[in-house]
Amino acid sequence: MLGKLRVIRKHLISATMFAAFLVPGAALSDSLTTTQTNNYGVPSGLIDMPTAEMAPDAEFSITVSHFPGYTKNTATFQILPWLTGSFRYSGVDGLSPAFKIYYDRSFDVRIRLLEETDYLPAIAVGLQDFLGTGVLSSEYIVATKQINNRLRVTGGIGWGRLGSYNSFASWRNRAPFSFAGVGTGGNFRFSDYFSGRMAFFGGLSYDITDKISVSAEYSSDAYEFEEQQTRNPAAGISFNHKSPWNFGVSYRPAEGVNMRLYTLAGSEIGASVSLSLNVRKPATPSAEKAPLPVAVRDPASINDLGWTVDKAVQERTYNDFTTLLAQEQIDLVGLDITERTAHALIENDIYVADAQALGRTFRVLSRTMPASVEMFHITVTRNGMPLSTTTFRRSDLERLENAPAREALSAAVITDSLQFGDVPGPLPGLYPKLEWKIAPFMRTYTFDPDKPFRADLRLRARADWHLGKGWIVSGSTSVKILGNLDKVTRRSNSIMPHVRSNSALYNPKVGPTIDQLTIAKYSRHGPNVYSRITAGYLEMMYAGVSGEVLWKPVDSRLALGAEVNFVHPRDYDQLFGLRTRQTPGGVIPRWNGHVSAYYDFQNGFDATVHAGRYLAGDWGATLEVARSFSNGWRFGAFATKTNVSAATFGEGSFDKGIFFSIPVTWLIGQPTRQTFSDTIRPLQRDGGQRLGVDGRLYGVVNDAHRPSVAESWGKFWR
């Protein structure tokens, strides 16, 4: 054993230092980033092998790679400058005798351990297909060094697939992949990670021009399972591994577009296309109109209180303020003006960051309020609830307009509106208020083995009728324009109550559907406490009543909540009817609910834990971790474990996936709080499923509280 460890250490040092000392005095790169991706869709200037390169922070890419019989579709996000995450959906012709095309889902992660220096390479560790069936499973330690700004050299050691060709040592036992050993799949395989045979891989990439680069690599993947299945007469795959050497040429015709042709294993020719974008950079230049400048008072007029007895001046002040605020597209809910203070209630339905709405409202106050008014208060409301009150001295506003935003934040005081004191009442005639919109949207159905992607394009009409303070009647109806969701024929084989696995049945061929029809009441119950009760047709699949309470101090990064739901499944046509609770897998329970904890780390990351009873009656907990950006982009991942076994849950073993939210303003350049959001699961099963309710409290409240406002305060002067 000691001898094996010495061999392992020797090869590991050789692999990680080879790139570092190839050329003395090699130039230091800019954090060794790349927008190229390899055959697996992860950042790499090579073909099939990984490198220690990272994409630029917040880079998102989609890669499609194909060689005969094999297609990989990969979405990759640079979570942090040193952390990459990927989700992959692959299709292989004839790999399994049970399927004409074998579809596989997998997750990857790569962590940079050391940054590149003048003489040392960047070093990274990665896990490929660490949470899937394991057909692509491998682990690696890799080093990459840049030389003379154009050449990058890589060396590494791999396990699993990457340890299968010309291995030099073995560490513990690792069973080769087989379909019989997959089970329900989707589980962590801790005993396999960094175990089994080990092999060396390496390669280099060279930028001929800014648009063209070439690469060559020595691959440690023997494609053993593909060759094994090639010899299986029941399978339909044909693969011949002739050589460990792969070669490729890449072309970048435009920013964010990479195309590659490559040879693989000495027998195959393949191609890949990668599209990438950085979520920090807007897709469309901003078309927001410039804000009004702060108006500076004449010192001689500060003590003039004559306006307090002049009704005409008071009326003109009110009219000027409402007119200018309307031009900023900010809704005025209430307004009180005294000799020395002005207090405005606003609702921000237009700007992604409440800080931007605050900044524009403060400037409107400076331009319209009488000179004697020194204290400005703005209360942000949503759904009839006052959420926070921000106070600024007018003299500070005048002094700090051209100062850094952080100085303005130091001068602002943000408090709970109920702790602040009395807030203005709603304007006369404010209620009832009707808001509506009509827009197209897409409903998708993914990862069906019969057809991996189906979609309907639908037209939706939505209306929100604000009856009074906190009372909202909401409804949406949609109709199919075109699509093929009604062609789904695969039916659920779940042995749990069918709470989500039968979602394909909720896609009628024709006719309108009622997507949601509810009445909700939002309330405050003293400082830090909020409540919501919603009743009606809550979502596409369920009707019922949902009640929620949230504790969230205005300056706290922590929030605690509880939700209880009484539900009944809706008819498949999504009109007014209800259907039986009885399903082939059991009876859908009436009650479900959770206690929740939310925490904002104030570095763009937040985490949420929900614990309780899920729709199918299983008990457990969900962990969500997400990164949000000041422009409204949001990426996250979640996992749920409940008291049902992997065998009972079925394929996938437990519920997990990724979610994202794209701000519409990022796409169109115009201010709007609308977003496009979706959740991607490797497989939709029945375990760990929560009810979908619109307007949950944390999402309503959090944006207006100090931690979120402070994070986006850079937009205060925009």
Residue 33 forms part of a structural domain: yes
Residues 106 and 235 in one domain: yes
Q: Per-residue confidence at 181, pLDDT binned at 50, 70, 90?
A: low
Residues 643 and 690 in one domain: yes
Which of 401, 430, 459 corresponds to the end of one domain?
A: 430
Which of 278, 311, 343 corresponds to the end of one domain?
A: 278
DSSP code string of 101-147: EEEEEEEEEEEEEE---SSS-EEEEEEESSSS-STT-EEEEEEEEEE
pLDDT higher at 393 or 8: 393
Question: Once rounded to an integer, what is the mean pLDDT over residues 38-61?
Answer: 97
Q: Per-residue confidence at 134, pLDDT binned at 50, 70, 90?
A: confident
Cα(658)–Cα(310) distance, integer angstroms: 60
Q: Are 18 and 152 in contact (CB under 8 A)?
A: no
Predicted pLDDT at 407? 94
Residues 259 and 400 in one domain: no
Residues 146 and 226 in one domain: yes
Question: Once rounded to an integer, what is the mean pLDDT over residues 224-240?
Answer: 87
Predicted pLDDT at 422? 82
Residue 286 forms part of a structural domain: no
Would the pLDDT of 563 be above 50?
Answer: yes
What's the sign of the alpha-carbon dihedral 344, 348, 354, 357?
Answer: negative
Would the pLDDT of 236 be above 90?
Answer: no
Predicted pLDDT at 331? 97
Residues 575 and 598 in one domain: yes
644: amino acid identity, one letter: V
Helix or strand holding residue 151 (H, E): strand 151-160
Q: Which of 598, 647, 589, 599 lies closest to 619, judged by CA?
A: 589
Residues 179 and 70 in one domain: yes
DSSP code string of 551-570: E--TT-SEEEEEEEEEEEEB
Block residue for tokens 């900023």: 328
Q: Are 186 and 682 in contact (CB under 8 A)?
A: yes
The CATH number for 63's domain is 2.40.160.40
Residues 490 and 389 in one domain: no
Predicted pLDDT at 173? 87
Q: Per-residue confidence at 706, pLDDT binned at 50, 70, 90?
A: very high
Distant-in-sequence, close-in-space partners of 276: CB < 8 Å, separation ≥ 6: 35, 37, 55, 59, 60, 61, 62, 256, 257, 258
pLDDT tens per residue, range 198-208: 999 999 999 99
The CATH number for 588's domain is 2.40.160
**Could you tell me if residue 279 is left (phi over 0), alpha (psi between -120 and 50 degrees) or otherwise beta?**
alpha
Residues 320 and 337 in one domain: yes
Residue 716 forms part of a structural domain: no
Residues 145 and 212 in one domain: yes
pLDDT tens per residue, range 286-339: 888 999 999 999 999 999 998 999 999 999 999 999 999 999 999 999 999 999
DSSP code string of 241-298: ---SEEEEEEEEEETTEEEEEEEETTTEEEEEEEEEEETTS-SS---PPPPPPPPPPP
Q: Are 630 and 714 in contact (CB under 8 A)?
A: yes
Would the pLDDT of 26 be above 50?
Answer: no
Predicted pLDDT at 9? 39
Assigned token pair, 573? 């046509």
Question: Once rounded to an integer, what is the mean pLDDT over residues 235-244?
Answer: 90
Q: Which of 671, 670, 630 lies closest to 348, judged by CA?
A: 671
Which of 410, 430, 450 corresponds to the end of one domain?
A: 430
Helix residue ranges per DSSP H, 522-650 = 646-649
Q: Which of 629, 669, 661, 630 lies closest to 282, judged by CA?
A: 669
pLDDT higher at 228 or 397: 397
The C-alpha angle 654, 501, 576, rounded to 5 degrees, equals: 135
Residues 554 and 509 in one domain: yes
Q: Which of 81, 72, 158, 135 lies closest to 113, judged by CA?
A: 81
Q: Are 216 and 260 in contact (CB under 8 A)?
A: no
Q: Rounded to the nearest 5°, which phi and psi values hold at 580? A: -65, 150
In the chain, the number of structural domains is 3
Helix or strand holding residue 316 (H, E): helix 311-327
Summary mean pLDDT of the chain? 92
Q: Per-residue confidence at 180, pLDDT binned at 50, 70, 90?
A: low
Residue 287 forms part of a structural domain: no
Residue 157 forms part of a structural domain: yes
pLDDT higher at 574 or 180: 574
Predicted pLDDT at 531? 99
Q: End-to-end distance of the chain based on CA atoms, in angstroms?
A: 65
Residues 420 and 438 in one domain: no
Residues 411 and 440 in one domain: no
Q: Are 478 and 513 in contact (CB under 8 A)?
A: yes
Residue 288 forms part of a structural domain: no
pLDDT tens per residue, range 401-445: 999 989 999 999 999 998 887 889 999 999 999 999 999 999 998
Residue 293 forms part of a structural domain: no
Q: What percentage of residues in the chain have a pLDDT greater than 70?
A: 95
Residue 713 forms part of a structural domain: no
- Break the chain down into helix, strand, coil percent, rounded to 5: 15, 45, 40
Which residues constitute the domain of residue 366?
Answer: 299-430
This prediction's pTM: 0.92
pLDDT tens per residue, range 480-498: 999 999 888 888 999 999 9
Would the pLDDT of 500 be above 90?
Answer: yes
The CATH number for 410's domain is 3.30.300.190
Q: Residue by residue, what is the 3-state secondary structure of 610-622?
A: EEEECCCCCEEEE
pLDDT tens per residue, range 672-688: 999 999 999 988 999 99
